[in-house]
Amino acid sequence: MSLASVVCGLFAYILTQGKNSPAGQPQFQAGSPNQGGIAMGQPQPQYQWGNQGGVPAGPTKFPPQGPQEHSFSQTQDGLLHDTSSLREILAYIQGQTPLGTKEGHRKLLKMKAAILTLFLIFMIASPCLCNDLGKVFNVISYGAVGNGKTDDTKAFAKAWEAMCNANGITSLIIPKGKIFLLNPVQFKGPCKATKVLVQVGGTIAASANLKTWTDNEKWIHFETVDGLVINGGGQIDGQGSVWWNACSDKKHCDDRPTALHFHNCNGLQLSNLRHLNSQRNHISISGCKGVKINNLRISAPEDSPNTDGIDISTSSNIEVLNTVMETGDDCIAINGGSSNITISGVACGPGHGISIGSLGKNGAFDTVEEVHMRNCTFKGTQNAARIKTWQGGKGYARKISYENIQIINSQNPIIIDQNYNPYSLNANAQSAVEISDVTFRNVYGTSVDEIAIDLVCSDHFGCSNIVLNNIDIKSAIPGKQTISRCNNAHGSTLSLCTPIVPCLSH
Distance CA 141, CA 397 (A): 49
**Of 42-50, 145-153, 279-287, 465-473, which segment contacts ligand NAG by CB under 6 A?**
42-50
Q: Tell which one of 404, 418, 446, 498 touches ligand NAG (CB under 6 A).
A: 404
Q: Binding to ligand NAG by residue 269, rule CB under 6 A?
A: no
Per the residue annotation, which of 105, 252, 352, 372 is the catalytic one? 352
Q: What is the 3-state secondary structure (H, E, C) of 3-72?
A: HHHHHHHHHHHHHHHHCCCHHHCCCCCCCCCCCCCCCCCCCCCCCECCCCCCCCCCCCECCCCCHHHHCC
Regarding 319 and contact with ligand NAG (CB under 6 A), the answer is yes
DSSP sequence for 124-137: HHHHHHHS---EEE
DSSP 247: G
**Strand stretches in 139-244, DSSP E:** 147-151, 169-174, 179-182, 185-188, 195-200, 203-206, 218-223, 228-231, 235-237
Member of 256, 374, 388, 474 binding ligand NAG (CB under 6 A)? 374
Q: Is residue 460 flagged as an active site residue?
A: no
* Partner residues linked to 337 by β-bridges: none
Q: Is 377 in the site for ligand NAG (CB under 6 A)?
A: no
Own/partner pairs, 242-249, CB within 8 angstroms, 24+ separation: 242/208, 242/209, 242/210, 243/210, 243/279, 243/280, 244/304, 244/305, 244/307, 246/210, 247/305
Name the one range near ligand NAG by CB under 6 A: 114-122, 328-336, 340-348, 387-395: 340-348
Q: How far is the CB of 357 from ligand NAG (least distance, A)?
A: 21
Q: Does 22 contact ligand NAG by CB under 6 A?
A: no
If the CB atoms of residues 274 and 441 are measured against ligand NAG, the closer one turns out to be 441
Closest distance of CB 374 from ligand NAG, Å: 4
Cβ atoms of 382 and 412 within 8 Å: the answer is yes
* Count of residues interacting with ligand NAG (CB under 6 A): 14
CB distance 443 to 467 below 8 Å: no
Closest to ligand NAG by CB, 26 vs 78, is: 26
Q: Which span (113-121, 341-349, 420-428, 435-443) binds ligand NAG, by CB under 6 A?
A: 341-349
Q: Please give the residue whose beta carbon sits closest to ligand NAG in the complex.
A: 317
51, 117, 216, 342: residue in contact with ligand NAG (rule CB under 6 A) = 342
77: CB partners within 8 A, 6+ apart = none
Q: What CA dihedral angle connects 48, 50, 53 and 58, to 10 degrees?
A: -150
Task: Select from 88, 77, 76 the least CA-distant residue to 115.
Answer: 88
Amino acid at 369: E
Nearer to ligand NAG, 160 or 444 (CB): 444
Site for ligand NAG in 174-213 (CB under 6 A): none
Q: Which stretch binds ligand NAG (CB under 6 A): 39-47, 126-134, 169-177, 483-491?
A: 39-47
Q: Does 294 bind ligand NAG (CB under 6 A)?
A: no
Are the C-beta atoms of 159 and 138 separated by less than 8 Å?
yes
CA–CA distance from 426 to each of 361, 390, 393, 430 (Å)? 11, 10, 10, 9
* 352 touching ligand NAG, by CB under 6 A: no
Q: Is 117 in the site for ligand NAG (CB under 6 A)?
A: no
Stretch that binds ligand NAG, among 1-9, 41-49, 121-129, 474-482 (CB under 6 A): 41-49
406 binds ligand NAG (CB under 6 A): no
Q: Is 43 a residue that touches ligand NAG (CB under 6 A)?
A: yes
Contact range with ligand NAG by CB under 6 A, out of 38-46, 273-281, 325-333, 415-423? 38-46
d(CA 440, CA 376): 12
Nearest approach in angstroms of CB 412 to ligand NAG is: 24
Name which position in 85, 286, 344, 493 contacts ligand NAG (CB under 6 A).
344
Query: Whole-angstrom Cα distance, residue 103 to residue 83?
Result: 20
Catalytic (active-site) positions: 352
Point out which residues bind ligand NAG (CB under 6 A).
40-44, 317, 319, 340, 342, 344-345, 374-375, 404
